Structure 1
Amino acid sequence: MLLERKKTNRYSQFLRQRYRAILGYTGLIWAIAGVVILSPLLALIFYPEEINLAWGFALPGVILTIVGGLLWWFLAPKRVISLSLPEGSVIVFLAWLVAIAVGTIPFILIQGLNFTQATFESTSGWTTTGLSVVDVTQASHLVLLYRSNIELAGGGGFAIIALSAISGLSGAGLTSAEGRTEQLAPNVRRSAKLVLSIYSGYAVVGILALWIAGMGWFDAVNHSFAALSTGGFSTRTDSIGYWDSPSVEAVTIFLMILGTLNFLTSYFLLTGKFKSVIRNGEVRLMALIIPLCVLIIFFGVAVSLYDTLGKGVRVAIFEVVSALSTTGFSTVGYSDWNSLGWTIMIILMLIGGGTGATAGGIKQFRVYALYRALLWEVKRMLQPKNTVTEPNYWQGDRRSFLNDNQVRTIALFLFLYFLVFSIGVIITAAYGNPLPDSLFEYASSLSTVGLSIGVTSADAPVGLLWTQIVGMFLGRLEFFTVFVGIIRLFQDLPSILFK
């Protein structure tokens, strides 16, 4: 009995040491989130008339930065330790939960939203969804910029941002929990810095390109951030359709595709390793899906709705890329689209973008892997009984093999995804929305897309908004991170708190 008690005490001490490190690293991410909340104040240089709104950002931003900084300073270990996947999940879960909670405050203090509306807007921003309950015609420049900034930070991923600041971290638990398992360099910190460099470079190029295409500087900054993060918040009620410009649409399409590409693929593209890009399964899948769906949307929807052939082509290309990349920008409304168009858009939203990118959805790699697994299974049935085969695919610049464990994990993820999707659709329909509208709107929420056919609004029922909030949160953190983080916390807290 005494020996058992000693073992329990040793385990409790071990857990306390690990959770000191966990809280220390979480504090760093909270501090970064605090700086992001403060970042719109830089725009006061250009909009000094909005100085009276500064306290709405300064109050939550300063408090979160100080609290996070103190946790980082006092609790983070002096020698950086490796994190397991469950520990990384706890950090990511706590980081996102607090960032969203504190991120609601500017919307309440400045925009006058109630708690549910503010939580919805904050969740939509940090998770890069883009569904909105804010009237952009009544919002200040600071609030509009704040929405774009939290999308940019949420798309980059707090784990990636934090890893670039932590010297020498060799464990991949934090990046895995963020859903980014591929590295650009052998060292995690260096890989994180490369990701941030690519992301920042794209943002700057996007701002300049949109300005040249005809946007003002303020709109260009906001839409570049929203396109690269595949977030979709716009400064205009008509989104990109406000400009009705082929040049603006072309630049935005390019930025959305960059945002949905795996960062490793982007790295190969920038370094001239085109062979590695071409044989990537996700790139091949996109090269098939985009032209095919553009043709279906054009001939099945656009050609009979819009005045000119050019307008129909532009609409088909833009809306397909926006849905597949999970960005959520639009150039037209969908109320006059037929069932074929809605069905294609729902499928594209559910598929989503690249793994390890800023996009949401099921992710193209999982779809491609299941396709390879299906071919493998059919081939295995036709071959002699004792034949040993494994389907291969290219991951970066190396050949990888798909095994039964990976297929099982993907299948479990899909089961969870469609289970949550079904529950969300049922709840949405229960509030009196037609089934097609419910399917479209919750696919947009769960896949963090942001396209809407009018179900989402400031006066939507509280229960409906919270259903979408849960969907956006689970969709961005891909279920397992949330579940593992919560389960680990409930398992460990009794041992930490009580001897």
Structure 2
Amino acid sequence: MGRYKSFLRQRYRAILGYTGLICLISGLVIISPLLALLAYPEELPLAWGFLVPGAILGLVGLGLWQLLAPKKATSLTLQEGSVIVVLAWLVAILVGTVPFMTIQGLNFTQAMFESTSGWTTTGLSVVDVTKASRLILLYRSIIELFGGAGLAIITLSAIAGPVGSGLTSAEGRSEQLAPNVRRSAKLVLAIYTGYNIVGTIALKLAGMGWFDAVNHAFAALSTGGFSTHPESIGYWDNAVLEIVTIVLMFAGGLNFVTAYLLLKGNFKSVVRNGEIRFQALMVPLCSLVILFGVAIGLYPQLGKAIRVSIFETVTCFSTTGFATVGYTEWSSIGWLMLILMMLVGGGAGSTSGGIKQLRVYILYRSLRWEIRRMLMPTRSVTEPSIWQGERRHFLQDDQIRQIGIFVFLYLILFCIGSAIVAAHGYSLQESLFEYASTMGTVGVSVGVTSADAAPTLLWTQILGMFLGRLEFFTVFVGLVRLLRDTRPILT
């Protein structure tokens, strides 16, 4: 027992050390909006609201990192990675509430909602953007940017030496761009950074000012959706701007492995990728349903109707949450299509949320295989497969079973969350829509989410956003492992 206790303490020194590094990075993220003071010096009196919490979190994180982290990089199991991810995200979200409370004047529940929405790249908001300072608006976009990159990915790129895949797997990014996890993380960050630089310039050229361009590039590529205007992208009513934003949302919702193959010019592997084929079928199909089922009847000009149908399809499929129009006048078929797309979500290993297109595609392939197997001779042997990256993967029963369990659990929690929203007096249609947006980390709203919403409603959405971003198994494994290990360590 004594040897086991000593082993646990040694492992938790490493866990707390790596958590400290993520806290250090999170503290710097909270402080980073102060760079905008060079352009907006009149907001200098607001600086303390970012500087104090960011500095405290950064110093505590630095202390943990220097004192407890192992001198040589230690491989992490999936369970240990889950503990780090859960702890780091909870701390980042909690400390991230401070600027919203001290500067924007939100209460704790509202600030917790806004912080969770930002770090999880959801984009639902209780902030009145017409009255918010530029520092707050930029802060919201920055935490979406870093939340989209993944705190674990950022950490892995900073740790010296090769590190085991436990941390990145706990973030829900099991595929690597390179054999070495640290190099893979650096490639992800390089792609992500390049996206944002190009995206900002493209939005500026399409008609936005620099401040709006920076915020919307961060929000689009993180599939977050925070906007600087209540009307979101609809504020500009600019077709070119919408096209640029659609491209950025597609990029944000794309698996980083697929993006890497595109940059390498390996189009053959991209074309046969299951997720790409799924998108190539579903995006045009859903756009056509919305066009003929909703848009043509509401928007007299054909060009406007086409723009709306394509944009709203992409914003929901990528889980970004930008909007060009409101949905209150949409027909039931339009609401149904948006709900289904928000539930499915974006690509696995991307910045998006939802069930993920890869899981849905695997279930579809498994269904085809099961039907085919029933019709084949008894002794025939066959196995379903999909293409991921440059390799063909044969699907195992345990993988299909785990995906089935995940989807079942996702839908159960979606039903429970929707029921709680409905219990607050909203219609079933509104409740299903809002909670699909919440759990899918999408961010489009039909008016349910607001600053004056009941605290119980906001906390239900906070839980949905957290579980939707980190995925249930990671949260469950991390919390159970933490609770199980705490007693023997302390006794």
* TM-score, scaled relative to structure 2: 1.00
Could you tell me how far apart the structure 2 residues matched to 1:392 and 1:410 are? 15
| Residue of 133, 138, 149 corresponding to 1:145 | 138
Deviations 1:311-363 (A, max 9, x none): 00000000000000000000000000000000000000000000000000000
Matched, 1:419 2:419: no
Q: Where does structure 1 differ by over 6 angstroms across 4 or more consecutive aligned residues?
A: none
Unaligned 5+ residue runs, structure 2?
A: none
| Residue of 423, 429, 450 corresponding to 1:436 | 429
| Residue of 211, 216, 228 corresponding to 1:235 | 228
Matched, 1:43 2:36: yes
What is aligned with 2:193?
Answer: 200
What is aligned with 1:184?
Answer: 177
| Residue of 315, 320, 345 corresponding to 1:322 | 315
Letter in 2 for 1:157: G
What is aligned with 2:7?
Answer: 14
What is aligned with 2:125?
Answer: 132
> Is contact 2:156-2:163 (8 Å) kept?
no
What is aligned with 1:286?
Answer: 279
**1:158 to partner: Cα distance:** 0.4
Letter in 2 for 1:481: T
Could you tell me how far apart the structure 1 residues matched to 2:377 and 2:75 are? 45
| Residue of 57, 62, 74 corresponding to 1:64 | 57
| Residue of 95, 106, 109 corresponding to 2:102 | 109
Matched, 1:382 2:372: no
Could you tell me how far apart the structure 2 residues matched to 1:110 and 1:96 are? 22
What is aligned with 1:265?
Answer: 258
| Residue of 198, 201, 208 corresponding to 1:215 | 208
Question: In percent, how many aligned pairs have the same letter?
Answer: 68
**1:169 to partner: Cα distance:** 2.8
What is aligned with 1:76?
Answer: 69
Deviations 1:104-146 (A, max 9, x none): 0000000000000000000000000000000000000000000
What is aligned with 2:399?
Answer: 406
Secondary structure of the residue aligned to 2:201 is helix
Could you tell me how far apart the structure 2 residues matched to 1:105 and 1:387 are? 62
What is aligned with 2:335?
Answer: 342
Please, which moves more after superposition, 380-389 or 368-377? 380-389
| Residue of 465, 469, 491 corresponding to 1:472 | 465
**Residues 451-462 of structure 1 correspond to what in structure 2 (within 5 A)?**
451-462=444-455
Secondary structure of the residue aligned to 2:173 is coil
Could you tell me how far apart the structure 1 residues matched to 2:338 and 2:100 are? 30
Could you tell me how far apart the structure 2 residues matched to 1:371 and 1:94 are? 35
> Is contact 2:222-2:252 (8 Å) kept?
yes
> Is contact 2:273-2:387 (8 Å) kept?
yes
Deviations 1:235-256 (A, max 9, x none): 0000000000001100000000
What is aligned with 1:3?
Answer: none
Secondary structure of the residue aligned to 2:158 is coil
**1:386 to partner: Cα distance:** 2.0
> Is contact 2:348-2:357 (8 Å) kept?
yes
Could you tell me how far apart the structure 2 residues matched to 1:383 and 1:300 are? 40
Could you tell me how far apart the structure 1 residues matched to 2:317 and 2:324 are? 15
**1:384 to partner: Cα distance:** 1.6
Say how many residue pairs are matched.
491
Letter in 1 for 2:120: T
Deviations 1:418-445 (A, max 9, x none): 1110110110000000000000000000
Secondary structure of the residue aligned to 2:393 is strand
**1:387 to partner: Cα distance:** 1.7
